[in-house]
Chains A and B, each alone.
Chain A
Amino acid sequence: NAGVTQTPKFRVLKTGQSMTLLCAQDMNHEYMYWYRQDPGMGLRLIHYSVGEGTTAKGEVPDGYNVSRLKKQNFLLGLESAAPSQTSVYFCASKVGMGSYNEQFFGPGTRLTVL
């Protein structure tokens, strides 16, 4: 049981380049999330999904797109990377509705945009 995995672990992009971050979970969770973590700030929600084929905007969605074609995978795309998107990105999943259900986090992807 790997839990939540993220690929890649590290990436350096030039301004304007595009990339996709992959999140996979093997816990059969319905809900999945993408967060970014920046120094001196709490984690901020980018996008989330409440089930296969659904996506919704979070707190800071601009410049990102997501897709949930399969229940176990949640993709985060950057179409034209900007230096402001330099951050550590975390994916999380939880079994279903209800704030008492724990979100399980992946190990993170450190992205640098030059």
Chain B
Amino acid sequence: KNQVEQSPQSLIILEGKNCTLQCNYTVSPFSNLRWYKQDTGRGPVSLTIMTFSENTKSNGRYTATLDADTKQSSLHITASQLSDSASYICVVSASYNTDKLIFGTGTRLQVFP
């Protein structure tokens, strides 16, 4: 069964600190993996996308990594800000159906001053 699992479920950090969120997937065949940021009461917004051949992608203070062999991805946030408080969702696309996305349940990040 195609699944995307994220850890931790929730995370609290102090402003200025770094953190890393994890995503494990069992989707096969694999097309690409995307990280979304979802602010409370808003829709998800794409941060990064990686295909099979890419193992790292950055977007400002956000850096995503992908290990397609172990089917793991991580999202690293550097020098966190209060505005980073949100849910971060890992989404995997299976290449057999380019319109079907498998969503993780997300990691809820709270950044405190």
Contact = CB atoms under 8 A, between A and B. Distances in A.
A102 to B, nearest CB: 5
Interface in B14-36: 31-32, 34
Interface stretch (B40-48, B66-74, B75-83): B40-48
A103 B98 contact: no
Contacts of B89: 42-43
B40 to A, nearest CB: 11
Given A42-B4, A42-B89, A102 B46 contact: yes
B95 A99 contact: yes
A48 B101 CA distance: 12
B98 A108 contact: no
Chain B interface, DSSP helix/strand/loop, else mixed: strand
A108 B4 contact: no
Contacts of B42: 107-108
Contacts of B95: 99
B48 to A, nearest CB: 11
B43 A108 contact: yes
Contacts of A50: 99
A41 B5 CA distance: 10
Interface stretch (A13-21, A66-74, A77-85, A90-98): A90-98
Interface of B: 4, 31-32, 34, 41-46, 49, 51, 89, 93, 95, 98-106
Interface of A: 4, 31, 40-45, 48, 50, 90, 92, 97-100, 102-103, 105-108
